[in-house]
Structure 1
Amino acid sequence: MVVDLLAQGIEVPPLSSRQIAAEADAVLAEYAMRFGPITKPPIEIEDVATSVLPLTFGFSDLQSQLGGRVHGAIWFSRQHILIDDALNPDRFPDLLGRYHFTLAHEIAHWQLHRFLFLDEDGHAVLYGDGEMPDVICRKDHARPLIERQADEFAGCLLMPEWLLRPAWRGLTGGDEPICDRQLRELVPPVEPIRFLIDADGVEVEPDPIRLMREVFCESLADQFAVSDEAMRIQLEYLGLFVTEGTPRPVP
């Protein structure tokens, strides 16, 4: 994040999972009012940004301009989003899902956090030079609350529960969660080499449970035009992937 909110005496308000999902559903309801009911995936996230919300977006070499592993950035007063060139789906179609999630993440900042940066007339309330973005999305392991909220909103926007549960039913034949013991019987052994190097070229320790879950939900990820990782996380959030026993309720 470019602006240090805590240093200026401003705290990001806590939001429950239900509140975040409701905010995402409100955006999708507005989309449905304009374009008709949403009956199947994927969510047309670019139309959400530019036709439902007053945003524009484009691509730029953010990693060179801003340093580090930057995926996206937003300027609230300009109502503008930039996505790093490395996620441009015209150049890298295999990264379409990551691009969609990054755009949805920046939309989340607009919906959830713009009031921290703009007054009722749309003028900046925090000191800044106007050239630097208000919020930068970096691929870091330590993520502040403002980023975690945006991630959760993006998952709910791209994979709303009311679309994902029927799709899960179509995949599994029921509404029940699947535990890892069951998955071991359903997913053939897969070499974990695909997780030795992540999308940013960083070596990571392969996680066989994560791998198994993501292989199982690949078809759902394709339906919703998101990454396997994003789909796995959303299914875990909804309690549809569980270790053993009964899934915990969403708070």
Structure 2
Amino acid sequence: FSDMVDALQKRHDFFHENGCRLSDHGIEEFYDEPYTDSQIETIFEKAMRKQQLSAQEIRQFKHCILHVFAEQDYASDWTQQYHYGAIRDNNSLMYDKLGADTGFDSIGEFTTATAMSHFLNELNKEGKLTRTILYCLNPCANEVIATMLGNFQDGSCPGKIQFGSGWWFNDQLDGMTRQMNALSVLGLLSRFVGMLTDSRSFLSYPRHEYFRRLLCNLLGNDVEKGLLPNDMESLSRMVEDISYNNARNYFKFY
């Protein structure tokens, strides 16, 4: 297992040397099962021998791997991103015909708030919690993440722990608006790093324009309701920051 960790570190260093500054982890949920180095070595050896692993052993190993990645991200001053909450390949008949990730995925339902808290707290206690963006696929967890952010802000940079924009099934009017409303009510919208595009398709880039229109619509509606002051200079600056400046400064793209 130690050889695998060394290989992961070399791979990480290669990407860092070639300009990469973020990691992105797609996980079903967060993991906080305690483990020891000897347990992980045993689990790894069992897996290499194709022996059956228990559910507990699988969760221990996933926890360990995420922790290793998080330590590497911190050491390289990267931002780590976690997209969680999907259950994939639900239709086994179509999986057998077409393979993995061919459109038969859905929103998952996991009780992960405590594990997320433990995972972030573990890194924070070690002084190894880097800038972090949390994305939930299930909108029922919006308020969970919006309140989790404040637990680990430390003043090292504005909005060190971020609530990521609506993604996948939430990448639409209602999903984006609900995410921004939860952040605005329970966090600090002005520090938001805004929309991202992780797709390889050029057709995905117009989502940034869509996002900006929804953001302006949200703020405009609040002004009309008297919930925000009609201060165009202040509001324009907030929109510009969320659309560009916050991300530029947060990711150190300068």
TM-score by length of 2: 0.24
TM-score by length of 1: 0.25
Higher helix share: 2
Q: Which has the higher contact order (CA 8 A, sep 6+)?
A: 1
**Structure whose CA Rg is larger:** 2
